Amino acid sequence: MEPLKKVKFIAVHHSQRKIDSVKRIKNLHIKIRGWEDIGYHYLIDKKGKIYFGRSEKFIGAHVFGYNKNSIGICLIGNFDEEKPTKKQIQTLIKFLKEKVRKFKIPIKNILGHREFLNVTKTCPGKFIDMEKIRRMLM
């Protein structure tokens, strides 16, 4: 895996399944897609627990064209069909604040997957309001 150099963005994703697990996502990424590791750097379950995915030392596999300069965080669930839990959002905000400080990333560079150029997905889902997330980081 290639080393991750300068982090300029944080990408927020959803797993696109109401009932999901880190184990299933890792299996999908490694065994089905043939990647070396899970594509996301972190995952947050419905209870607000953070799981470590791919090391921050390495380029992720989560936003085509932006993997070399971004950290990927996946919220477990399908947020086109349901709202994230309060615990997920609370954990996400706290976690994003830590990463913004660590990498000195402008808040405007915290993006939902759909907000990156040339992306036609709804990820992280219609029930994730990225403008609201960014306001909560100020």
41 is catalytic: no
Q: Is residue 63 part of a domain?
A: yes
What total of structural domains would you count in the chain?
Answer: 1
pLDDT recorded at residue 19: 81
Q: Is residue 3 one of the residues assigned to a domain?
A: no
Q: Determine whether 40 is an active site residue.
A: yes
Determine the structural domain holding residue 129 and report its residue range: 9-136
Q: Is residue 128 part of a domain?
A: yes
Please say if the pLDDT value at position 70 is more than 90.
Answer: yes
pLDDT in tens, 108-118: 999 999 999 99
Over the stretch 26-36, which tens digit does the pLDDT of each residue have?
999 999 999 99
Annotation says 14 is catalytic: no
Catalytic residue among 13, 14, 26, 41: 13
The Cα–Cα gap between 97 and 6 comes to 18
Position 112 in a domain? yes
Question: Read out DSSP for 23-59?
Answer: HHHHHIIIIIS--SS-S-SEEE-TT--EEE-S-TTB-
pLDDT of residue 1: 87
Please indicate whether residue 108 or residue 19 has the higher confidence score (pLDDT). 108
Measured CA to CA, the distance from residue 131 to residue 133 in angstroms comes to 5
Q: Determine the average pLDDT of the residues in 51-72.
A: 96
Is 2 inside any structural domain? no
113 as an active site residue: the answer is yes
Kindly report the CATH number assigned to the domain that includes residue 44. 3.40.80.10
Which residue among the candidates 14, 26, 40, 62 is catalytic per the annotation?
A: 40
- 77: in domain: yes
pLDDT for 20 beyond 90: no
**Residue 74 annotated in active site:** no
